[in-house]
Structure formats: C-alpha cells, structure tokens
Structure 1
C-alpha cells in the first residue's frame, strides 16, 4: 500500500522551534550537513524532511527515534540500516513530502516557476518535441514540471539518482496514464502517478511493481516534532 505524507512549513510555526535544539533529534552526519546550509529555508527543509521520515518510521515500525539508523547509498538515496521499509523523500518551496510503499519507490515535488525551457533539452527528444507542441507558455511550464517530477521519481525509485541520464528514457501518455519507455518500449514493471496536489506544485511518484495507492495525508508539524523527542 502506497501512502504519501505531506508537511507544509510555515514561518509562524518555524519560529516557535529553535534549530539548534531540533538538531539533537537527527544523526550527527545529518546535523553537520544541515549546519552547512547558508539559506535558513534550505536548512529547515532538510531538517524537517529528516524529522518527518523519522516520525513515520517510528509509527510504522514501533521503534523510538533514537533507535533509527538512517544511511544513504552511494547515489544519496536514504534507507534504513536494520529494517526493511521502502520510502523516499522530496521537498520544494514550503512543502516536504514522503512516500512509503511495499516496493522500491521514488517521489518528487517541485514548485512550478517561470524558467528557461531550454533546460528541457536534458529530456529525451520525444519529450522535448511533445513539450514544444504546447502553445501557451503557462501550459509548457506546467507540462515541463509534470515531466520533471515523473522522471525524477523514476530515477529515485531505482535508487541511482542522476547517474541515469534523463534522456535515456521517456515518459509516455503523460496527460493520461504515464508509462516509462526505455529504448522506445513501455516497461510495465513501473507504475507512475501524477498526484493532484497544492496549486503551484507538481507531485509525482513511481513504484517498481504494482502497489495500491492508499492516499495523501497532511501532517501536523507539532506532532512530528513531539514524536521525534520521544
């Protein structure tokens, strides 16, 4: 069963917590990484993403935060050292999202912004041509971010990050039921979903194998923090 959990950061709530105190509830490696951020929002997103998954792991496996060992593979994908739980994280703007499923899974959320669409040349030729067919600029930008999140969710599900070139596969039927095409052939092993989310954001997930979608749940920041303190 696939479940997505979303946490929205608000300036008014963030000010009620001290960054230094909350860093006590993540690993020393994560703490060092967070302290290197120059932008406060970047630091807070990274911190709360870690706290969110710790909260969800604690609830899912009935273990305390202090007993959770999060590590990353050589491509940067996080996983649990001593337990088997498939999850993935993403954050953009003021949103942090986490997905948990039965199979290997990836998630990506992106804030839709006005960008130079030449960046889409990193996509496959098929995708780039599809994007250029969109007549209105707003529609092209929205389609770009939908494609981007779908493709990112695929490489994150594989756990190899951008070591997999974005032009090495295509997303087919993006406006209906998205499918992954490797070398021009649809691979039925991958299940893609573009999720109806907040205005101004695109959210997509990919799971390797079939897994029933169990919904999107919005989290309370105070519950997450209090859970990690236990």
Structure 2
C-alpha cells in the first residue's frame, strides 16, 4: 500500500506516501479535483504534484473530512479550499510527505541523503552546524530538512539558510526532537522540530 505512515496527534497529523501509481491512477484518487498544470512537463514532477494532494486527502479523511482542493498564495504556500487548517508538503520521488494542523503554521521536508549535501553544506549551514554535521551525510540531511521546514513555517521566501535559520547541535538517532530558530532582524522565533530517519529518507516536521 502506498501509504507508508500516518501519525495522528488529534489537532495535527502527518503522513508519507510512496508513489507506485500512474498519473491517471493518482488523479482518480482525488476525483480529478486538482489537475497538473500544463507547465509541469517532467513526468516525475507530475506524479509528485498529484501524490501530494492524495496524501492531504488521506489526512482529511482520517478526520472524516472531505478534500476539496488546494490553492497557493503569492509565495507558493499551499492552502486548503474551504478549510482554515495549515498544511505543508514535501516530495523526493518516489516519496511524498504532508502535515496538517488545525491551529498553527506547519512545515515538513523529506529528502533522501545524497553526497551533494556535503558539497552545498557550506552555503546553507553556519559554522557551528557545519562542525556538528561533519561528514555525516544523514546528519547533513537532517539539518537541510530542518531549515526547509522552518522556511515553510515562516511562509515567505526571503530568508537566507545560513543567516536567518539556525539549528541547535544534536546527537543523531532514528528519531528525535531538535530546536530551530527563525531569525529576522531583532526577532527570533524558537521552533521545536521532530525528525525521523528511515533506510531511504529523512523527514523533519513541527
């Protein structure tokens, strides 16, 4: 079954979907409510687009609610039609992750640990984070996902990963909690993040 995981915490829930379906099969699962834009031509991106909506639909159905589609704001942040809930999506083919919260802004990011994270590390991590991550690709992946989740919580795209977002050092485990900070001018917001490490991917969410 493509639904890899679904965790419900009453007012918040998150899930991971593994894509095994065709584009038509995914579209049928949401009754063609959302159609892939013609500008999206990459076949894998088209599958990710639809699968993200399928997993959001599953999260709503878990609360006995009906999915009616998604819209995006000027910053590309997704919102549900006819619900005031907060949502966030992430994808790294063939996996798609989503989180939904009835009251608070949320962010989720899923990535597959790859060598490129070591190369881009100096551009996205501060010196303390770089020293803590070392050459551990999985730890670099947790840092990367954490910062991407923070951006989604903030909801705008004017943040610099190394400057405006900070993650406290941590000891890596299969799952755990870490503290993130969103720093904008003199304002600093602390965010508790949860991470999960599987054999194939890392996912971080609040």
Smaller-chain TM-score bracket: 0.7 to 0.9
1:1-230 matched pairs, under 5 angstroms: 1=9, 2-10=12-20, 14-15=21-22, 17-18=24-25, 25-27=32-34, 31-33=35-37, 35-60=38-63, 62-63=65-66, 65=67, 68-101=68-101, 102-115=103-116, 117-120=118-121, 121-131=123-133, 134=134, 137=135, 139=136, 141-160=137-156, 162-167=157-162, 168-175=164-171, 177-181=177-181, 189-196=190-197, 198-206=198-206
Contact conserved, 1:89 with 1:108, CA < 8 A, in 2? yes
2 CA distance for matches of 1:200 and 1:69? 29
2 CA distance for matches of 1:58 and 1:96? 17
Gaps in structure 2 of 5+ consecutive residues: 1-8
Task: For residue 16 of structure 1, report the CA deviation from its aligned partner.
Answer: 9.1
Q: Normalised by the size of structure 1, how large is the TM-score?
A: 0.69
- Identify the residue that residue 210 of structure 1 maps to in structure 2: none
Higher helix share: 1
Q: Normalised by the size of structure 2, how large is the TM-score?
A: 0.76
After superposition, the CA RMSD in angstroms is: 2.9
Corresponding pairs, count: 187
Question: Structure 1 residues 42 and 32, CA, compared in 2 at 3 Å: closer, same or farther?
Answer: closer
Aligned partner of residue 83 in structure 1, secondary structure: coil
Determine which structure has more spread, i.e. the larger CA radius of gyration: 1
Question: Structure 1 residues 16 and 86, CA, compared in 2 at 3 Å: closer, same or farther?
Answer: closer
Gaps in structure 1 of 5+ consecutive residues: 207-230
